[in-house]
Amino acid sequence: MRLTLAALSLCLIAVPTFAKAKDSVVVPLKTSSGQDAGTATFVQQKNKLSIKLNLKNLPIGDHAVHIHEHALCDAPDFKSAGGHFNPDSKQHGTMNPMGHHNGDLPQNVTIGEQHTGQATFKVDYLSLASGAPNSILANGGTTIMVHEKADDMKTDPTGNAGNRIACGIITSPTP
């Protein structure tokens, strides 16, 4: 009886762990020269998507981070990623009174003296759910892009963020 109870308890503990793995995606980013630029971790939390950035090997300063529409990161300019993810057909910038692209994240990331930076965003306008209209995994996925300059959060279509300097492909995890 105790063995059965122990096995059942172990199963109940293990199931949420396995289920959570389906609700998260870790994306490696690369610079235009192929250098490791860190990771972005996406975790679905009920109605919000958490995006945790751990960046490295990038220039010191403030940088825009956006989700782009295609799951392509062809160096050196990463233009194959297309424009900002925008299924709602809105304009750029979280300070835009007309609404913003779904790919616009709420703040810039600061890269410090060690050429590293961290940031965490929680947004309710992106999802990992494959059937959701705002899913970053639908239609083959999207990309996460770091730009050379800060986003001014209002200028359409890109926030004057400059060139694309690091990119990571966001796709469904393989089982």
Tens digits of residue pLDDT in 133-161: 899 999 899 999 999 999 877 766 665 77
Cα distance between residue 59 and residue 6, in whole Å: 52
72-79 LR contacts (CB < 8 Å, sep 24+): 72/143, 72/169, 73/30, 73/143, 73/167, 73/168, 73/169, 75/30, 75/32, 75/33, 75/34, 75/167, 76/32, 76/33, 77/32, 77/163, 77/164, 78/32, 78/143, 78/145, 78/164, 78/167, 79/164
Reply yes or no on whether 63 is catalytic. Answer: no
**What confidence score (pLDDT) does residue 7 get?**
38
Q: What is the mean pLDDT of residues 98-119?
A: 87
**What confidence score (pLDDT) does residue 148 get?**
95
Reply yes or no on whether 92 is catalytic. Answer: yes
105 or 148, which is more confident: 148
Catalytic residue among 63, 84, 100, 151: 84
Give the architecture-level CATH label for domain 24-170: Sandwich (2.60)
CA 170 → CA 16, 59, 85, 135, 139, distances in Å? 23, 23, 12, 11, 11
Reply yes or no on whether 147 is catalytic. Answer: yes
Tens digits of residue pLDDT in 19-64: 334 578 999 999 999 999 999 999 999 889 999 999 999 999 999 9
